Amino acid sequence: MGATVLALVAGAAGFGGLLLAGYLLYVRLWGDSPTALVVIVLLFGTAGLYAGWILGMLVFSAVRGPGDEGGAAA
């Protein structure tokens, strides 16, 4: 349960970090364009979801540790 919670927190942080970077880029370059906001949210949101998933999987695997399901791979 602890590994799942930590993985969710790490994934949310990865997603939020990239979405925040996209928002800051939007404010700095195109502060009043709704079209640019949609494009930025789509691009950075998609990248953030992927990065959050990867980060969550890494944290989950690191916290959970090696399993006892048959030993080393052949």
Q: Largest Cα–Cα distance of the chain, in whole Å?
A: 57
Across residues 2-20, what is the average pLDDT? 91
Pairwise CA distance, residues 65 & 5, whole Å:
15
- 1: three-class secondary structure by DSSP: coil
For the chain, the domains span 2-64
pTM attached to this predicted model: 0.76
pLDDT in tens, 21-69: 999 999 999 888 999 999 999 999 999 999 999 999 999 988 887 765 6
Encoding tokens for residue 7? Answer: 């993985």
The pLDDT of residue 6 is above 70: yes
DSSP readout, 22-73? HHHHHHHH-TT-HHHHHHHHHHHHHHHHHHHHHHHHHHHHHHH----SSSS-
